[in-house]
Amino acid sequence: MIAFPIAKINIGLRVTGKRNDGFHDIETIFYPVGLCDALEFVVPSGQVTADELTVTGINIGSRPDKNLVMRCVRKMRENYPVPNLKIHLHKAIPSAAGLGGGSSDAACMIKAINKCFSLSLNETTLKSIALDLGSDCPFFIDPVPSRATGRGEILKPVSNILDGYNIVLINPRIRISTRDAYNNCVPSKPKKSLEQLVTLHPSGWKKLIANDFEDYAFKLYPEIREIKRSLYGAGAVYSSMSGSGSTVYGIFDKKPEIPVNLKEFMLFEGRL
């Protein structure tokens, strides 16, 4: 069984409140992009006593047993007959980058196990399992452009507002702790919902659609702010940091000329 977990960007990210369960309420638009990992598993022949995970590609800096894919397998096995598996994960989406790579890997594993072993679990059940693994994990069960509220698990599809646009992802290879980003953000209620704002032309988003984590990230790492400035300088109609960072994306209405200083850090260039 093979799958290709995709990345996402956040169009706007507002932290709207602190919850009693320790999480935060947010409002954002999750939007899928073409950058993806590759995930494959087989049921080994013969007797095996444990799962085996091999990770290639980008070094994500975590032990295999701590990987979300392995946590997903253990979670599924609590309630469903899942044999020991031999798993290969090839990483093209960096971790701690605001692109949801780990959550996407886990969601794809949940769906692949459901299909491979004919568990017949419906989408609601799959998303419930996914939420135990990460707040943005349910989005990747059915990754269509969606407004996300609550922890990020309350999803409402929106139109493909960026169809036909070009996107560039720039990652400066800086790891930003999501926990620290939330701890340094002051929640506030936005005056207008993102659901309204994204109906405007993307060229009007610059002064209206914000990522609340940018102030913290830019103070800590000014080079991230410079990437955003460079993308606007290259003609982006909109640019933002994604999630809690550190990846910055630029939306272009035609194929862009990427500045030389950014080419070293370019993760992905393509159409939406």
Q: Domain with 199 in it: what CATH number?
A: 3.30.70.890
On whether both 265 and 204 belong to a single domain, the answer is: yes
On whether both 145 and 179 belong to a single domain, the answer is: no
Whether the pLDDT of residue 6 is over 90: the answer is yes
**Residues whose CB falls within 8 Å of the CB of residue 209, separated by 6 or more in sequence, listed in order:** 11, 12, 194, 197, 198, 238, 240
Q: Which of 8, 91, 111, 228 is catalytic?
A: 8
Tokens of 133: 């693994």
Percent above pLDDT 90 for the chain: 92
**Residues whose CB falls within 8 Å of the CB of residue 216, separated by 6 or more in sequence, listed in order:** 180, 181, 184, 185
Query: Is 180 a catalytic site residue?
Result: no
Burial of 11 per CB tally in 10 Å (0-12, 13-18, 19+): buried
Mean pLDDT within 4-32: 96
On whether both 259 and 152 belong to a single domain, the answer is: no
On whether both 138 and 20 belong to a single domain, the answer is: yes
On whether both 59 and 193 belong to a single domain, the answer is: no
Number of domains within the chain: 2
On whether both 177 and 130 belong to a single domain, the answer is: no
pLDDT at 49: 87
Query: Is 206 a catalytic site residue?
Result: no
> Which range among 37-41, 150-154, 157-161, 229-233 shows the weakest confidence by mean pLDDT?
157-161
Tokens of 111: 């769906």
On whether both 148 and 220 belong to a single domain, the answer is: no
Which pLDDT tens digit goes with each residue over 206-224? Answer: 999 999 999 999 999 999 9
On whether both 143 and 32 belong to a single domain, the answer is: yes
Q: Which of 75, 136, 212, 228 is catalytic?
A: 136
- Asked which of 157, 188, 223 is the last residue of a domain, the reply is 157
Mean pLDDT within 3-8: 98
Backbone CA torsion sign across 165, 171, 176, 177 = positive
Q: What's the CATH number where 90 sits?
A: 3.30.230.10
Which pLDDT tens digit goes with each residue over 59-117? Answer: 888 888 889 999 999 999 999 999 999 999 999 999 999 999 999 999 999 999 999 99
- Asked which of 130, 157, 184 is the last residue of a domain, the reply is 157
pLDDT at 48: 83
Is there a cis peptide before residue 246, judged by omega within 30 degrees of 0?
yes
pLDDT at 238: 98
On whether both 249 and 125 belong to a single domain, the answer is: no
Q: Which residue has the tokens 């000329």?
A: 257
On whether both 32 and 133 belong to a single domain, the answer is: yes
Q: Which domain holds residue 97?
A: 2-157
On whether both 263 and 173 belong to a single domain, the answer is: yes
- Asked which of 110, 133, 157 is the last residue of a domain, the reply is 157
On whether both 23 and 134 belong to a single domain, the answer is: yes
Using alpha carbons, list the distances in angstroms from residue 199 to 157, 160, 170, 203, 246: 13, 10, 25, 11, 26
pTM of this structure: 0.95
Cβ–Cβ contacts within 10 Å for residue 100, how many?
A: 29
